[in-house]
Amino acid sequence: MTPGKTFSLIIGKSAGAKSGYVRVVSTAPSLLANPLVTVDADPRRWLDHTLFDITQDRIKEFTVKPAGGPGYTASRANKDTSDFAVSDIPKGRKLSSPAAADPIAGSLGSVSIDDVQKAQATPATGVAHTVFKTFDGLTLDVAGHKEGTRTMVSFTPTSTDQATEAEAKTLAARLNGWEFEIPSYKYDGMFRPLEELLEKLPEKGDKKKPAAGPALPPDLPPGLISPGPGK
């Protein structure tokens, strides 16, 4: 036993259900170790995939700045107000429903990751931002971009209230300096364009056609067809 000292091991084949071979790095002999040591070869499987859970009932306001298109802000006066009011709606347009923006407020709930990497030294292009604010003073700035099919985000937590100061520090220690790959549906939920919240515009040339008259039975004898009034 060597308390306080660590060793780097190369994990070899198993010798049964309860033991396997290992070798200390930079040494020649292999050792039979008990209990069996197993390590998944894919580092992504070593991750704690649950990142954080900030529930929708805590969210007071969020401001979305998509990578393209206009930005907007949605807010509510208190927790008893279920739906978020959206500002900056274009003239002549309206929300598809009073709850159109609500799912964005819920996008911070049960956030899980598929992969993680060090934050890039050079900022990515086409970055979207959403800044969430809670009723108890926590602010979470979410920046997102796409790398091929991967949807990457980074988080910057801060607090303006003593009630959430410790939470912000805990989140910062876990999140700062890293970029996380999250599921695409979660990414899309955080950065929804304003157009997706609005009622669809009628398509050009979409005019109502006059209602067709009743269809005549096929092969109707000519003598049974009325010429109509005034004929």
What tens digit of pLDDT does each residue of 32-67 get?
877 876 665 555 555 556 899 999 999 999 999 999
Provide the pLDDT for residue 213.
Answer: 60
- Higher per-residue confidence, 176 vs 39: 176
Alpha carbon distance 131, 41 (integer Å): 37
Provide the pLDDT for residue 206.
Answer: 58
Given a cut of 60, is residue 178 above it in pLDDT? yes
Given a cut of 70, is residue 11 above it in pLDDT? yes
Instruction: Express as a percent the part of the chain with pLDDT over 90.
Output: 59
CB count in 10 Å sphere of residue 108: 25
Given a cut of 70, is residue 214 above it in pLDDT? no
The pLDDT of 194-217, averaged and rounded, is 74
Provide the pLDDT for residue 98.
Answer: 96
Tokens of 182: 């999250």
Mean pLDDT, the chain, as a whole number?
Answer: 85
Given a cut of 90, is residue 211 above it in pLDDT? no
The pLDDT of 92-113, averaged and rounded, is 96
Given a cut of 90, is residue 18 above it in pLDDT? no
